[in-house]
Amino acid sequence: MRAGDRAYQTLREEITNGDLPAGTVLGEVEQAMRLGISRTPVREALRQLISEGLAVQRPRGVEVSEVSFENIGELYDVRLALECQAARLAAQNRDPDVFRALLVDFQHVSDLLNTRDRNRHDYYELVNRLDEALDQAVHNPYLVSAMATVRTHLARIRHMARSDRARLMDAAREHALIVQAIIDGNGDLAAHATHVHLYNSLSHRLAKAASLETRTADAVSPDEGDARETA
C-alpha cells in the first residue's frame, strides 16, 4: 500500500478517536518523522483530511478542525435528510434476506447487552452492519459518500457523549422497526422510523451533553475506562 494512504488512514483514525484533539497542529515534518516517511505523502494525507473537513488550513499550517456540541445539531439535520432518503430507497431495492438477518440480530440485542457491559462494542458493530447493508441497498454512490462524510464527523463526537445501556436498548427497538419497514418495502415507514430514531438519538446526546457540563470537563463516563491523552 502507498505510504500516503497509510498516513491518511492513520491520521484519520487518530482524529476520529480523539487521540489528535481539535486544534492540534499537524506539522509536516513532525508527522513525517513520527510516521517514518517523508513530507510528500504526509502532505497528500493532510490535503485529503482538509477536503474531508477533518483538518483546516491555517495561515500557520494545518490543524485538526474543531467539532463541538453546536455541530451536533447541524450534523443531525444533514443526517436526517440523507438517512431518511436512504431508508426510503433501501425499502425499494433491498435484498430481503440481508435485512431479515439483521432484524433477528436487533431483536436479540437484549441478550447481547445483558451478558456483559463490554459488549456495547458488539452493538456498534451491528449498527455498522446495518449501515453497510443500507449502503449496498440504496444503489447510489453519491448518497453513500455523503452519508459516510456525516458519519465520520459524528464519530468524532460519539466518544464525547456515549450512550448508556438503556438508550441502546431503545435504539435497538428503533433500528428493528426501520429494518422491518425496509423488509416490507414500506418506504414511508422506513423514512419516518429513521426520523424517530434520529430524533431520539439526538435528544439523548444533547441531554447527556448537558448533564456532562455539570461535572468536571475531563471526567470520563463512569462505565467506560478508555485512557485518553487529552491535553
Q: Which residues bind DNA (CB under 7 A)?
A: 2-4, 26-30, 37-41, 43-44, 57, 59-62
Largest CA distance in the chain: 55
The least distance separating DNA from the CB of residue 24, rounded to whole angstroms, comes to 12
User: CA separation (Å) from 47 to 55, 66, 156?
Assistant: 8, 17, 19
Which of the residues 18 through 47 are near a second copy (CB under 8 A)? Answer: 40, 43-44, 47
Residue in this structure with the C-alpha cell 494525507, named with its chain if needed: 45
Q: Which stretch binds a second copy (CB under 8 A): 17-25, 129-137, 148-156, 213-221?
A: 148-156
Nearer to DNA, 2 or 121 (CB): 2
Which of the residues 160 through 179 are near a second copy (CB under 8 A)? Answer: none
Which of the residues 79 through 118 are near a second copy (CB under 8 A)? Answer: 80-82, 84-85, 89
Give CA torsion, residues 77, 192, 197, 146, to 10 deg: -40
Name which of DNA, a second copy, none residue 160 binds, using a CB cut-off of 5 to 8 Å depending on partner kind.
Answer: none
Nearer to a second copy, 107 or 149 (CB): 149
Which residue of 16, 48, 163, 201 would you call a contact of a second copy, by CB under 8 A?
A: 48
The least distance separating DNA from the CB of residue 65, rounded to whole angstroms, comes to 15
Nearer to a second copy, 146 or 169 (CB): 146
Spatial separation of the C-alpha atoms in residues 138 and 62, rounded to whole Å:
35
Nearer to DNA, 50 or 202 (CB): 50
**Long-range contacts, stretch 35-41, CB < 8 angstroms, 24+ apart:** 35/3, 35/6, 35/7, 35/10, 37/3, 37/7, 40/4, 41/2, 41/3, 41/4, 41/6, 41/7
Are 28 and 61 in contact, with CB atoms under 8 Å apart?
Answer: yes
Closest CA to 46 of 34, 60, 64, 33: 64
Residue in this structure with the C-alpha cell 483538518, named with its chain if needed: 55
Q: Which residues bind a second copy (CB under 8 A)?
A: 40, 43-44, 47-48, 51-53, 71, 74-75, 77-78, 80-82, 84-85, 89, 139-143, 145-146, 149-150, 153
